[in-house]
């Protein structure tokens, strides 16, 4: 283990600052853009705000899982929320069952990353 005591679930419970804007793309057409500036590439857009937020949440989880799996730990600008349920959030975001199972195991991050490399 790399000495990092955080688990995947902990990283997924970190509250990242959300930035959102709605812009007119052409006469009468609007687009909502949302992003987590602390996470690389975590941006989404859609004509409807709820759709943009759902896309962003899915991307946030995928980004954090990929970073942790590669041994690159995401930034932790704030402590993880104690009452967050990352498994439920991942299910609501429509992530595949294997990703949900990875989060549900709640194993230390280094162990999960090692298991992923063996597959």
Residues of the chain with pLDDT under 70: 1-4, 106-119
In a domain, 28, yes or no: no
In a domain, 88, yes or no: yes
In a domain, 87, yes or no: yes
Q: What is the pLDDT of residue 19?
A: 97
In a domain, 1, yes or no: no
In a domain, 29, yes or no: no
Q: What is the pLDDT of residue 116?
A: 46
Q: What is the pLDDT of residue 74?
A: 95
What domain range includes position 80?
8-16+50-118
In a domain, 43, yes or no: no
Find the DSSP H helices in the chain.
Answer: 8-12, 49-69, 86-92, 97-105, 109-118
pTM of the model: 0.82
Cβ neighbours of residue 63 closer than 8 Å, sequence gap 6 or more: 39, 40, 41, 42, 74
Q: What is the pLDDT of residue 118?
A: 42
Q: What is the pLDDT of residue 27?
A: 83
Q: What is the pLDDT of residue 53?
A: 95
Domain total for the chain? 1
In a domain, 72, yes or no: yes
């Amino acid at each position: 283990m790399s000495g990092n005591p955080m688990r995947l679930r902990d990283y997924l419970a970190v509250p990242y600052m959300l930035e959102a804007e709605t812009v007119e793309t052409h006469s009468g057409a609007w687009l909502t853009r949302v992003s987590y500036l602390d996470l690389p590439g975590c941006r989404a857009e859609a004509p409807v705000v709820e759709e943009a937020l759902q896309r962003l949440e899915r991307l946030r989880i995928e980004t954090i899982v990929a970073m942790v799996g590669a041994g690159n730990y995401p930034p932790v600008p704030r402590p993880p929320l104690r009452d967050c349920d990352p498994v439920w959030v991942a299910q609501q975001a429509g992530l595949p069952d294997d990703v949900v199972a990875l989060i549900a195991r709640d194993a230390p991050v280094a162990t999960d990353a090692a298991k992923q490399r063996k597959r």
